Every structure is written in structure tokens, then in C-alpha cells.
Amino acid sequence: MRWFYSLSCLYGLLSLGEGQSTQGLVNLVKRRLPAHVDDFSFELAPGKHTPGLTNDQYTVKCDFGKVSVQGNSLSALLSGLHRYLTDVAHVDIYWFIGSQLDKLQSLPRCASFNGSSIVPWRYHFNTVTFSYTAAFWSWEDWEDELDWLALRGVNLPLAWNGFEKILVEVFEEMGLSQPEIFDFLSGPAFQAWNRFGNIQGSWGGQLPMAWINSQFDLQKQILQRMTELGMTPVLPAFTGFVPRTFPDLYPNASVVNISQWSGFPTQYTNDTFLDPSDPLFARMQKSFITKQQQYYGNVSSIYTLDQFNENDPISGDLTALEQLSYTVWQSLKAADPNAIWMLQGWLFFSNSDFWTNDRVEAFLGGVTKNTDMLILDLFSETQPQWQRLDSYYGKPWIWCELHGYGGNQGLYGQVMNVTINPISALANSSSLVGFGLTMEGQEGNEIMYDLLLDQAWSGSPIDLTTYFHNWATTRYSNATQGTLPPQMYQTWDALLHSVYNNTNLTAAQAVTKSIYELAPNATGLLNRTGHHPTTITYNTTTLVKAWQTFISAANSTPSLWANEAYQFDLIDITRQVLANAFNPVYSSFVTQTNLTALHNANTSALNASLTAASHTQSQLLALLTTLNGLVCLTPSSAPESSLPSWVSAARAWADSNSSVSDFYAFDAVNQVTLWGPTGQISDYASRQWCGLISGYYLPRWQTFTGTYLNSLTTGQPVNQTQLQSQLLTWEEQQQGPLA
């Protein structure tokens, strides 16, 4: 018999039937459907509902022009409301294009229907999403996000904002000065990796206390909204990473440096780690969690705590690993007797050479009460670890879709893996308790994330043809007030069977990156596989035909041209078509400027090659110019939609302080370009953004192609070392101007 880990000792206030209010749901309707606030009613079913133990159930009825939703939890009620809005009324709220719920004129009638989740938890967020996507979000951005999450049944979101406020207070309590503390903290766009213990300090300025206070105030708003929408926030805990001067204050403290990361200079990495066995660790953990409870109230006892993200423990000894996790767990329990430790399982994949099965078993075994730990199988659709690790040796775990790295924007999906595989896992793992989204950056491909969250309410794999048909109907129906033209369905069926149906995981494991986003080179750009693939796994002609069909839909139904969702998707599909078209033009240029192949060519042949290469260069640069102009038309004001909006959102947090504003802007630009003081993981978080293409990628390709054309003219081979150094120097110089 399947068991779910019990939180019965937690959250008496969350046990339904004991006074939990539906006012948060009413408030959501007021925000999104103000004309219909009196047309919906919500009723919590009698009896207790224990988060993490009980599956959610709802029933929706339409009577006398009213819609009533009954459910056993707030999340169930919201899921029932969402099902009515999407399946019956054909309206929804989306990323980028925003809420379309206000387009609803009158409430359509419906036959009664019900739904039941197949897992108690629906999780959202990767720790790094708070930097790649949400680094500069305002409260208005968070309001949109939280309503999106609530309506899609997410009831376990990560809540990282405000972490630094608590941490600073704990460090000050330990006797560290503010200069020592602020030398340790990283800039707004890189806080995720400071929290992970990968990096320390900042290479563009210093994080001001004003930022820390503002994020703390924002966190209080976020947590209040999460709880009133029936979510259990996952809160941070103290990980053990401390400023360098900590051993000066506590010379007998047991500290190590284990976190050299990704080629960063020692100044910015090799974080000092306080061994959990040291009594100071438990003391600081107690202080951290106590302060958090005092500020936020008893909103959750689930804590995210990751100490070995892409870094290994000091020892691989099995007993030492077991003792390590035991002491961390006990520090949490001493601070909060109800504490549950949530761990991102990324380390078991990324550092699998260290994390052998016996080491994982020993480490997880240190938490002797299985229900006190919760594992995110972070990359389940591509690199699931639960099978090799025997369902995490009995620890409760969540099947997660990672999908994309760094906010990269290629059209991509694995529709089969996110429908068939989680259902198979549910049948084969008694400790699976949830499905979740763990994308690094929340950009594009929205249907792929809806798909997994909807799969959490279906006991069999979702029928994909029907699902894509219905998703398209809801997305565009307010433009037609009726049935969509058949071309719309043909387009989405083509997308289903091409860009969203990668089954070749050897070629591509996640969202594909266009080669024009990478530092130019004559080799090594095409057909990359693995972490950041550039291999195109579908027939590009299929996408071109789908694009043409999509345009023909609006030609036959002109009202689509004015539809925000249609506008966004047309630009997005066109963006991918043009990005794909870059590859053959690039290949032609490389061939045409290959001096080795032209070694024995006569003057006439060399001149012909120079003429052809010059023409190809014009095509390549014109393509990038067109791409930039296209994405600048994207109908969105979201921070993560263009370079100007990204930088503007960063500057908005500076409260008119010009030096702080420049630092925030520099930090924002550095993340999506060099990612480090001198390009340590350059172009990792590359985006196909307005302003970034024209201001960064295009000039790089102008330099690259100009250098090769000059080589043809002079007959001298390109000095690759010199060219790459020239490009890097230029990239470093652009950080300020782009900001």
C-alpha cells in the first residue's frame, strides 16, 4: 500500500475544517475577475486535510449562473477554479502576456465535474531561478507569479527572498562586523550561488543593506500571499558557509574550504564552511530559524538546505557522510522540532563520480527518520536518479522537470518523458510524493510546464494531441469568440511532434541554445550535446511549415493579429525559425573562409571566395539585425523579456542612488553575458533578447567575420588565440555600456 510522508504534527492551522479561510481565493477573483466576484463560491469540505499526506480533491458545479467549487484544501479549490476557467470559459493567466482572465464576459454553463490529484505535493522553483529569472522582480511580478502557481495547483513553492536579512543578523550576533559580512555576500543577480556556497563577494560592487531590507519586506508579502493561497512555503536554513574572517573570531572552530567552483579565482570562491559537527553550527542554525519564525510566523517547517552543490564533502568515508547529515538534521530539529530537510538532488547527478550509491545511502541514512527529509529528483525527465538510488532509500521524493538551463530560450520539450515517466515512477516508487518544476530560468515553452502540473491530476499519461488542442483553444479563443481556424491546431500539432518531442537525449538533454549566442569560433559551435546542446533534434523544415501555417491562421481570421498570445507566439516561433537559419549561413561562411582548403587556389578563385564570403557575412549580420528587430516587438514588459527591461528592473531597486543603480545594472548585464569577472562561465545564461542581440552578439560576429575576411585578403591564417583574446577584452569592456 502506498504511503505518503506525514506532516500530521505540522501546521494545525492548515488542517481544514478548523477555520481556514477562503478569503485569499476571493481576493484572487477580485484581482483577476472583478466583474464576477459574486459569481463564484468556495466551500471547504468538512474534515481534516494534512499537507503532504492527503491528495487534493475538488468538485465544480454550475447552478443558476453561479459557479461553486468545493474541495478538501485551498489548493484543491484553486485547481477546480482553474479547470473551469480553462476548460469551460477558455481563459487563463500566462507568463509574459499576463492574465487573460478579465476577458471573460459571462460565465458559461457547465455540467458538474470533479478532479483529484494523484500526488499530494506540486512543487515549484529551483534555487537558481531566484537569480536567473526573479532577481529583480517587483511585488507586482510576484503577484502574477503566485496567482499563476496557485491556479495551477502548486502548493509547495520555494521562498528564498529575504534570506540575507536573517543571515546578516545571525552573523552580527556572532560578532562579525558589517564590512566582513558584506565582503562575503554576492550581488543581486548572483545570490543563488552565494547561498549554495559556490561563490562569495561581488565583482561589480558591494551589496547594500538597502537591498537586503527591501528583499526582506518583499519576502513578507510573498509569504503572506503564499499562505492565503493554500501553499506551504519552503524556507531557507543556515547552511554553514561563513565569511573568511570567521576563524579569526573563533580560532577553535572546525572550518574547511571545499568550494572552489567553476574556475573562479580564490577571491570569489573557496567559501569557508563551518563543519556541522562544530557546536557553533547548531547554535547559528537555532538563531537563524528562530529569527525567521519571529519575523514570518509559523508558516512552514520545511527547510531547503544544500551544502554540496557542484562541490564535494571533504571526506567520502561512509561513516563521516552519515554523521555529517545526522548533525545537519539534528541542528534543524533542535531549532524546530517539526523540521523537514528538503534537498535538491542535483549533486547526485552532477557529481556522480563522488556520489556513488553507497555514499548516497550513507549520507541519506544519517537522517534516520525518513519522513524528516524530502528529496527533489531535480532532472527526472532526462537524468533521473531515483532508480539507481532505490527511490532514495525510502526518503520521500518529488519527480521534477528541469527542462532548461540559465533561462535559455530555444523551443524545446520532452512531452513523452514528462507524461509517461512520472506515472511510471508513481507505480514503481512508494516514496514518490509529488511532481515539480525545477527549471533554472522561467523563460518560454510554457506549455511544457503546464503539462507536468496537469499530469499531477491524471492517473494515466495525458493524451498529448488532445492536450495541445485544448491548450491552443484556451490560449487564443478570446480573439475569435468561437472555434479557432484549423491552421492553429495544425500548428500546435506540428510543434507537438517536432520541437516538443525530443526523444534523443544523447543529442540534447535540455533546451537547445542557438550558436549565435556563443562566442564566435570557426569550430565547436554546431552539434554540441549534453548540458547546453546546440544540436537541433527535429526537422527544421517542419518548423518552417508550422510557422507558415500559423501565419495563415491569422490571414484567415484577422482578429488573431490583435491577440496578445498570438503576437507573442508568432514572434517566438519566428525567432526560432531565424535562429535555426543562422546555422547554414554560418557553415557557409566557415567553408568560404577556410584558407587551408584554398591553399592551392589561384587569384581568381581566392577573389571569388572573398566575394562569396563577403555576401555571406552580410547575410549573417542581417539575420542578427532582423532577429533583434523581431524580438523587440515582443508584447511584454516582464523584466526577463529584453535587455532594457532587465536592466531597468535592476535599476528600479536602487531608489535613485546612482552608484547603486549602476552596480545593479552591471550585475544584471554580467549574468547574461560574461557570468563572472572575466567570463568564467560566459554565455551560460545567454538570452535571445532585444538589445542583447544588437548590442552584444552582433558586434562579436562582426569582429569574427571581419577577421576572417581580412585573412582571405591578406592570405594570413587567423591567429585564434589573439582573436579570442580580442573578443574577451571587448566583452569585458561592454559590461558598462550595456548596463
Task: Give the amino acid at 735.
Answer: Q
| pLDDT score recorded for residue 280 | 98
Over the stretch 581-602, which tens digit does the pLDDT of each residue have?
Answer: 999 999 999 999 998 888 888 8
| pLDDT score recorded for residue 734 | 97
| pLDDT score recorded for residue 63 | 86
How far from 605 is each of 52, 592, 710, CA to CA, in Å? Answer: 72, 11, 16
Phi, psi at 271, each rounded to 5°: -60, 145
Task: Give the amino acid at 155.
Answer: N
Is 672 in contact with 646 (CB distance < 8 Å)?
Answer: yes
- Environment class of 55 (CB within 10 Å of its CB; exposed 0-12, middle 13-18, buried 19+): middle
| Vertex 498: Cα angle to 145 and 623 (nearest 5) | 80
Is 297 in contact with 310 (CB distance < 8 Å)?
Answer: no
How many other C-beta atoms lie within 10 A of the C-beta of residue 226? 25
- Band of pLDDT at residue 65, cut at 50, 70 and 90: confident
SS3 content of the chain, % helix, strand, coil (to 5): 50, 10, 40
How many other C-beta atoms lie within 10 A of the C-beta of residue 350? 18
Domains of the chain: 12-116 (3.30.379.10), 121-462 (3.20.20.80)
Is 582 in contact with 517 (CB distance < 8 Å)?
Answer: no
Task: Give the amino acid at 726.
Answer: Q
DSSP structural state of residue 485: P
| pLDDT score recorded for residue 150 | 98
- Band of pLDDT at residue 679, cut at 50, 70 and 90: very high
Is 498 in contact with 517 (CB distance < 8 Å)?
Answer: no
Q: Please state the rounded mean pLDDT for residues 264-280.
A: 97
Over the stretch 98-127, which tens digit does the pLDDT of each residue have?
Answer: 999 999 989 999 999 999 999 999 999 999
Rounded CA gap, 423 and 411, in Å? 25
Is 652 in contact with 136 (CB distance < 8 Å)?
Answer: yes
| pLDDT score recorded for residue 11 | 36
Rounded CA gap, 678 and 689, in Å? 22
Over the stretch 626-635, which tens digit does the pLDDT of each residue have?
Answer: 999 999 998 8
Mark out the alpha helices in 43-188 (DSSP H runs). 74-83, 129-132, 139-151, 163-173, 178-184
Rounded CA gap, 660 and 615, in Å? 45
| pLDDT score recorded for residue 357 | 98
- Environment class of 466 (CB within 10 Å of its CB; exposed 0-12, middle 13-18, buried 19+): exposed
pLDDT of residue 18 exceeding 60, the answer is no
Strands 302-304, 373-377: pairing is unpaired
The beta strands (E) that lie in 223-276 are given as: 235-236, 241-242, 255-257, 272-274
Q: What is the pTM of this model?
A: 0.96
pLDDT of residue 650 exceeding 80, the answer is yes
| pLDDT score recorded for residue 641 | 86
Rounded CA gap, 55 and 4, in Å? 10
Is 662 in contact with 147 (CB distance < 8 Å)?
Answer: no
pLDDT of residue 13 exceeding 90, the answer is no
Rounded CA gap, 246 and 181, in Å? 10
How far from 566 is each of 442, 448, 487, 556, CA to CA, in Å? Answer: 20, 18, 13, 14
Under the phi-then-psi rule, with left for phi > 0, alpha for psi from -120 to 50, and beta for the rest, what region is 570? alpha
- Environment class of 63 (CB within 10 Å of its CB; exposed 0-12, middle 13-18, buried 19+): exposed
Q: Please state the rounded mean pLDDT for residues 279-289.
A: 98
Question: Would you mind telling me the total number of residues written for the chain in this entry?
Answer: 739
- Among 8, 43, 12, 40, smallest CA distance to 26 is for 40
What is the chain's mean pLDDT, rounded?
A: 95
